[in-house]
Structure 1
Amino acid sequence: MQTRREMLSRSAGVAAMLAGLGLLPAVAQAEYAAAAFEAKTMAELTKALGISTPVESKDVTITGPDIAENGAVVPLGCSTALPGVKRMLILVEKNPSMLCAAFDVTDAVEANFNTRVKMGQSSNVMAVAVMNDGKVLFAQKEVKVTLGGCGG
């Protein structure tokens, strides 16, 4: 019978072998946009991501409630049917960290994402589409929060 100590020892050996072959994710992948998630303004965010200033577009859509009863779980969605989308972002203007979600997109993926975010107060939310050609497009919607999710 195999002991727990032997099992852990073998598991560590297998993990080391996989890491040596490059089959485990690198730690740096989780931090690719750490500065972007710390940005508090649109100017800081565009600088951190290395993108141009967004331009409003009818081709990008943001979905969410007009009034969110609980700011701790606000359902938001972003989408676009435009070809050549590289990344979709969901931003909340008055949150401590403006960037709430980032989705990398390829041609094999439909640029349509839904998630839940925390909102501390009523604010404008934005869906931003970063295109392969360098254009940055956005749509905006106001969401009113009756009970804040960030300690309010």
Structure 2
Amino acid sequence: MQTRREMLSRSASVAAALAGLGLLPQAAQAAWSQAAFEAKNMGDLMKALGSANPTESKDVTITGPDIAENGAVVPVGASTTLPGVKRLMLLVEKNPNMLAAMFDVTDAVEPNISTRVKMGQSSNVFAVAVTADGKVLYAAKEIKVTLGGCGG
């Protein structure tokens, strides 16, 4: 009968062998653009991402509450029916850093995201879609915040 000590010893040697072959999972490292996340307005953000200025479109939709009681956790979402969308972004106009979230999508993924963002005050929130051919389209929604999430 195998003891626990022997089992752990064998498991450690198997794990070492797998690690040596590069077969163990590694920590995910997100790639992000520091200039994009530090942008204070839409023009600077699009310049940092190398995109054109966005135009408003009915093909991009944004979801979120009309009034958020707590600005620390405001549920928002973005979706589009456009074919060939490569990136979806959520922007909060009056936050210190406008870019709240950026998602790269492929053709195998439905371009429909939802997350929670922090809002310091009532502001316009934008859902921006970037297509493979370089078009940048957006939808906007005003969300009122009763209790600011950035210490207010």
Q: Is the structural similarity TM-score above 0.5?
A: yes
- In the alignment, structure 1 segments of 5+ residues that lack a partner are none
Q: TM-score, normalised by structure 2?
A: 0.84
Q: Which runs of 4+ in 1 moved over 3 A?
A: 6-17, 23-27
2:31 equivalent to 1:40: no
After superposition, residues 1-152 of structure 1 pair within 5 angstroms as 1=5, 14-15=18-19, 17-18=21-22, 24=26, 27=29, 30-152=30-152
Q: Kindly, what percent of the aligned residue pairs are identical?
A: 68
Q: TM-score, normalised by structure 1?
A: 0.84
- Give the superposition deviation at 1:105: 1.2
Aligned partner of 2:31: which letter?
E
Aligned partner of 1:83: which letter?
P
Aligned partner of 1:72: which letter?
A
Provide the rounded CA distance (Å) in 2 between the counterparts of 1:34 and 1:8: 39
Provide the rounded CA distance (Å) in 2 between the counterparts of 1:48 and 1:11: 42
- Give the superposition deviation at 1:31: 3.4
Change (3 A) 1:9 1:100: farther
Aligned partner of 1:115: which letter?
T
The alignment partner of 1:31 has SS state of: coil
Change (3 A) 1:9 1:112: same
- Give the superposition deviation at 1:13: 6.8
The alignment partner of 1:133 has SS state of: coil
Aligned length: 148
Change (3 A) 1:137 1:10: same
Greater Rg, structure 1 or structure 2? Answer: 2
Change (3 A) 1:39 1:13: farther
Aligned partner of 2:53: which letter?
T
- In the alignment, structure 2 segments of 5+ residues that lack a partner are none
Provide the rounded CA distance (Å) in 2 between the counterparts of 1:58 and 1:74: 23
